[in-house]
């Protein structure tokens, strides 16, 4: 068990290293290096550009730059923001809780609605409710989340006045963004819950339970649901990472604090190191969530052995 955990953690660290390298090389090898991106708006002279390039060590060979980047990164140093002059990492960590709060709230919305629609659709297979549930979930999957966010603002904030239009101060502020982000996830989960439940409901042990005279509610809750949850948990875990990515746009729509907001603002301010650090931290978080899912998987399914 400990060996397995160590193994998976090591693999996750390799992925974080790989992703960081990928981001580094993408930002350094693609046309437009840090200086070009930073100075694109200010019309700096060639001398100033050369000076800045020298100051940032961009005249060194790429491998030297990469080595320096790695050496600094393992010490948590991703450089300083060009505008606030503060180290990048603390700035990102300050915003992290708000992004996690949104991603968690969206996951809850997704799981709740996905489970309600998916499970009831499976239990009432081939009825009008099944059809409606699947149509609604497909619609939810097809909607752009940023657009849905705007519609929510128009209906629930501007017209009904039930929720604040923007900000991230209270829990009340997270409701609309969580629904905007989580509903398409609910659509995906509803389809998954339905097919997982249908598969489980066709198993011998469910038939046996019914033959024994176990009440239908108990068959669903105690026998079927527990097993149908297994594939769902993996998808929830993987999608938590995607919700982290999706929160980039939702944070902009609702003017919420969070990593997404920092990254997008940094992009428009050409704050190179803040963008690089923000992207790497989000990707690392994504890998961490997948690792946690991987490790807790066995708790749900005792058939999985750690070797």
Exposure of 135 in the CB half-sphere (CA atoms within 13 A): 7
Beta-carbon neighbour count of residue 13 at 10 Å? 13
Range in contact with another protein (rule: CB under 8 A) among 71-79, 92-100, 212-220, 247-255: 247-255
Question: Quick one: 27 or 214, whose CB is closer to another protein?
Answer: 27
5 binds another protein (CB under 8 A): no
Cα–Cα–Cα angle for 256, 259, 265, rounded to 5 degrees: 75
Cβ atoms of 115 and 133 within 8 Å: the answer is no
282 binds another protein (CB under 8 A): yes
Q: How far is the CB of 160 from another protein (least distance, A)?
A: 13
Question: Quick one: 89 or 209, whose CB is closer to another protein?
Answer: 89
Q: Tokens for 13, please give them.
A: 């660290």
Range in contact with another protein (rule: CB under 8 A) among 82-90, 174-182, 222-230, 263-271: 263-271
What DSSP line would sit under 202-216, residue for residue? Answer: TSHHHHHHHHTT--H
Measured CA to CA in angstroms, residue 212 lies from 199, 219, 294 at distances of: 20, 10, 36
142 binds another protein (CB under 8 A): yes
Q: How far is the CB of 50 from another protein (least distance, A)?
A: 21
Tell me which DSSP letter residue 80 carries. B
x/- site string to another protein, residues 195 to 214, per CB under 8 A?
A: x-------------------
Q: For residue 142, how far is the Cα from the chain centroid? A: 18
43 binds another protein (CB under 8 A): no
Rounded Cα–Cα distance for residues 41 and 271 (Å):
12
- Angle at which helix 225-253 crosses helix 175-201, to 10 degrees, equals 160
Query: Is residue 179 helix, strand or coil?
Result: helix
Q: How far is the CB of 208 from another protein (least distance, A)?
A: 26
Q: How far is the CB of 232 from another protein (least distance, A)?
A: 12
Q: How far is the CB of 144 from another protein (least distance, A)?
A: 5
Range in contact with another protein (rule: CB under 8 A) among 152-160, 167-175, 209-217, 297-305: 152-160
Question: Quick one: 20 or 120, whose CB is closer to another protein?
Answer: 20
Question: Quick one: 91 or 184, whose CB is closer to another protein?
Answer: 184
Q: Tokens for 70, please give them.
A: 């790695």
Rounded Cα–Cα distance for residues 305 and 212 (Å):
31
Q: How far is the CB of 227 from another protein (least distance, A)?
A: 15
Residue 278's φ and ψ, nearest 5 degrees, are -60, -45
Q: How far is the CB of 136 from another protein (least distance, A)?
A: 11
Measured CA to CA in angstroms, residue 185 lies from 114, 151, 176, 235, 243 at distances of: 8, 18, 15, 10, 8
Q: How far is the CB of 135 from another protein (least distance, A)?
A: 9
Contact positions vs another protein (CB under 8 A):
15-16, 18-19, 21-23, 26-27, 30-32, 37, 138-139, 141-144, 146-148, 150-151, 153-154, 158, 195, 231, 241-242, 244-246, 248-249, 252-253, 263-264, 267-268, 275, 279, 282-283, 286-287, 290
């Amino acid at each position: 068990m400990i060996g397995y955990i160590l193994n998976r953690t090591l693999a996750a660290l390799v992925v974080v290293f790989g992703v960081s390298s990928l981001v580094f090389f993408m930002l350094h090898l693609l046309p437009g290096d840090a200086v070009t991106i930073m100075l694109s708006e200010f019309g700096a002279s060639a001398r100033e550009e050369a000076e800045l390039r020298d100051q940032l060590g961009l005249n060194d060979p790429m491998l030297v730059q990469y080595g320096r980047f790695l050496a600094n990164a393992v010490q948590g140093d991703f450089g300083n923001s060009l505008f606030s002059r503060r180290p990048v990492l603390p700035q990102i960590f300050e915003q992290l809780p708000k992004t996690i709060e949104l991603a968690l709230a969206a996951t809850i919305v997704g799981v709740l609605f996905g489970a309600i629609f998916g499970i009831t659709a499976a239990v009432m297979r081939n009825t009008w409710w099944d059809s409606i549930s699947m149509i609604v979930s497909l619609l939810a999957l097809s909607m752009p989340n940023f657009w849905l966010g705007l519609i929510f603002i128009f209906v629930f904030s501007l017209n009904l006045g039930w929720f604040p239009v923007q900000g991230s101060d209270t829990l009340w502020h997270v409701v609309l963004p969580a629904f905007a982000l989580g509903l398409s996830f609910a659509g995906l989960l509803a389809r998954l819950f339905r097919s997982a439940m249908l598969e489980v409901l066709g198993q011998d042990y469910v038939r046996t339970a019914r033959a024994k005279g176990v009440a239908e509610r108990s068959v669903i809750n105690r026998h079927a649901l527990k097993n149908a949850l297994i594939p769902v948990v993996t998808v929830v875990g993987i999608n938590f990472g995607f919700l982290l990515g999706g929160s980039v746009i939702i944070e902009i729509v609702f003017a919420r604090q969070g990593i997404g907001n920092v990254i997008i603002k940094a992009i428009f301010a050409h704050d190179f190191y803040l963008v690089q650090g923000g992207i790497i931290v989000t990707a690392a978080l994504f890998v961490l969530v997948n690792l946690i899912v991987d490790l807790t998987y066995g708790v749900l399914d005792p058939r999985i052995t750690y070797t």
